[in-house]
Amino acid sequence: MADEKAAPRHVGVLTSGGDAPGMNAAVRAAVRGCIGLGAAVSGIRRGYQGMIENDLFPMQLSSVGGIINRGGTILGTARSQEFMSKEGRAKAAANLAACGIGGLVVIGGDGSYRGAHALHKEHGIRVLGVPGTIDNDIAGTDYTIGFDTAINTAQEAIDKIRDTAESHDRVFVIEVMGRHAGFIALDSAVAGGAEAVLIPERKGDVESICKKIEAGRKRGKISAIVIVAEGAGSALEIGYLLSKMIGVETRTAVIGHLQRGGRPTALDRVLASKMGFAAAQGLFAGLSDKMVCIENGKIVYRPLSHAWKHKKEADMELLSLVDALSI
């Protein structure tokens, strides 16, 4: 039930930071949720930069028709240096005030949350964050929008590369995204049946990988897959070291931004729909400076600052599982 005293009459919706599959589903749910609760809605193009440039447009129910299945974000996204200054945020806040916008739904990651938090603290703007990032590295929520699609994209690539690896008796080193966190690498390694995985959270040991590959070849294993998170090292360098140390033909593949695009999985569409709608409900219940989280399948709200005051730990049991199952 909406709190009439707290209910904003006009809500802005934006996506910020790196795009993630499922962002459009979250936009759809937030827009329709807010309209259903009686508010006008404006879309803000290119995140905080669009807010500074007053690049806003009215959104209707039909504005988000047919987008739940689309990757990327129809609102566009950008990283704004100007918004990092107080002057930039003041300009953005003035534009919102001129349009009568009293609440914001911000879909993005840690950096997007910091911007929303600053707007709330400095200008009293009511903000709700929705976690949209393929890295799944936001503390406080079990999953972020886009993660499931990213690991499914990586898994499909790994499956195809394994066909070639087995055909040519090769070792392949595959680099996936994850500059500061190994969530994608760990899940991809387990799902793809990799022989080894390197992640930023734990120092990699190339020598032990060599021993495992050599042991496998002695018992007739003709190929191997090594998954590397981008923050754990370069696939090219690791591939070169493996080739030099064990004398086998090694190839590398960097999946890169393929993981950020494409149609969102059913899981990401459902998650994004739940979270986007929960953001609308939260605004109308008088919440602010909060992020929507999923915990044990249930929606919960936590302070935006939780995202940077706490570190989400990777599941190291998956690291042990990869090692145990790749004998």
Pair 302, 140: CB distance under 8 Å: yes
> Alpha carbon of 210 to those of 100, 161, 321: distances in Å?
62, 20, 18
Length of the chain (residues): 327
Q: Which residues contact 268 (CB under 8 A, 6 or more apart)?
A: 21, 22, 25, 145, 146, 147, 148, 149
Quote the CA–CA distance of 325 and 327 in Å, as a whole number: 6
Is 135 part of the annotated catalytic residue set?
A: yes
Considering the candidates 110, 135, 137, 268, report the single residue annotated as catalytic.
135
Q: Which of 172, 153, 183, 157 is nearest to 311 (CA)?
A: 183
Query: Under 8 Å CB-to-CB from 29, ≥6 apart: which residues?
Result: 272, 273, 274, 275, 276, 277, 280
Query: Do the strands 298-303 and 290-295 form a parallel or antiparallel pair, or are they unpaired?
Result: antiparallel
| Long-range contacts at 237-245 (CB < 8 A, ≥ 24 apart) | 238/173, 238/198, 238/204, 238/206, 239/171, 239/173, 241/206, 242/171, 242/173, 242/206, 242/209, 242/210, 242/213, 243/171, 245/206, 245/207, 245/210
Q: Cite the active site residues.
A: 135
